[in-house]
């Protein structure tokens, strides 16, 4: 399996990365390292891919896989999860607890405090960004001025087209959001998820922001993209604290 390691100046006990789409056994539109159960891939293939993930990364335990619903609920990973938490962000403060989110165009945001004692993974599509998932996670994790953020692979600003109602919703909340939208015609705009996330982080006191250079839509050999292929798999963005 291939993956992209987060490039940010965090303590050595922090491990953070996003998987790529190759190196697994899934077939068809899910080729080949799909890690999501909810996309109608063969269950046996997903099980095999997850086993490969744990083995090749040397994960201390299985990740806690969230039931992501584009909301702003946050799961506190304090003990062993006995069911699938419905949330779009996960926080951990103990070692060997693996936080994970699944994406295929939405933006994965990983957070860590400067001492390497608190971490979080966020699933930030436009709905979650609008609902305040980043702000809420920052507020629960640690003082904002101690945090670093890494923006993983997401659909790029030249490919993510939305209706005017989406832009209007962001503008109603914060006029500075205008900078993240470029008009295509009278009712459609290209949207920069990376810019929206940076605005949210900066407005909430997180100033050390890294990543944000990939486009899932334009790299079919490397990433899944729901906008490009509606029948497709999901990458995982993971973060954990090594003991």
Q: Divide the 243 residues of the chain into consecutive groups of 10 and give the mean pLDDT of each group.
A: 97 98 98 97 98 97 96 89 88 97 98 98 98 98 98 98 98 96 97 98 98 98 97 98 95
- Given the structure tokens 């939405």, which residue do they identify? 106
**Predicted pLDDT at 83:** 81
Alpha-carbon torsion (48, 43, 26, 120), positive or negative: negative
Alpha helices, DSSP H, located in the chain: 43-57, 126-131, 133-141, 164-173, 193-203
Return the residue matching tokens 């990364």: 57
Question: Tokens standing for 240?
Answer: 């954990």
| Structure confidence at residue 82 (pLDDT) | 66
Name the residue ranges covered by the structural domains of the chain. Answer: 3-156+207-241
Report the CATH fold assignment for 3-156+207-241. 3.60.140
What is the chain's alpha carbon radius of gyration, rounded to the nearest angstrom? 17
Bridge partner list, 206 = none
Contact yes or no for 177/118 (Cβ under 8 A): no
Secondary structure (3-state) at 6: coil
DSSP per-residue letters across 26-55: --GGGTTT---STTS--HHHHHHHHHHHHH
Is this structure's pTM higher than 0.95?
A: yes
Query: What is the distance between the alpha carbons of residues 188 and 100, in angstroms, rounded to a whole number?
Result: 32
């Amino acid at each position: 399996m291939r993956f992209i390691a987060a490039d940010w100046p965090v303590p050595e006990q922090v491990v953070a990365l996003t998987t790529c789409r190759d190196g697994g056994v899934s077939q068809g539109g899910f080729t080949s390292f799909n890690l999501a159960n909810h996309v109608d891939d063969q269950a046996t293939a997903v099980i095999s891919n997850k086993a490969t993930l744990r083995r090749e990364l040397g994960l201390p335990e299985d990740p806690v896989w969230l039931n992501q619903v584009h909301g702003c609920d946050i799961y506190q990973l304090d003990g062993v999860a006995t069911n699938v938490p419905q949330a779009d962000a996960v926080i951990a403060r103990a070692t060997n607890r693996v936080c994970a989110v699944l994406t295929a165009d939405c933006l994965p945001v990983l957070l860590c405090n400067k001492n390497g004692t608190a971490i979080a993974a966020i699933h930030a599509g436009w709905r979650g960004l609008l609902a305040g998932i980043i702000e809420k996670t920052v507020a629960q994790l640690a003082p904002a001025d101690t945090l670093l953020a890494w923006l993983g692979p997401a659909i790029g600003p030249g490919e993510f087209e939305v209706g005017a109602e989406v832009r209007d919703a962001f503008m109603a909340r914060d006029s500075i959001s205008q900078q993240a939208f470029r008009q295509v015609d009278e009712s459609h705009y290209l949207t920069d998820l990376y810019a929206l996330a940076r605005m949210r982080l900066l407005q909430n006191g997180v100033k050390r922001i890294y990543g944000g250079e990939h486009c899932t839509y334009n790299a079919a050999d490397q990433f899944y993209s729901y906008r490009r292929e509606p029948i497709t798999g999901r990458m995982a963005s993971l973060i954990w604290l090594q003991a």
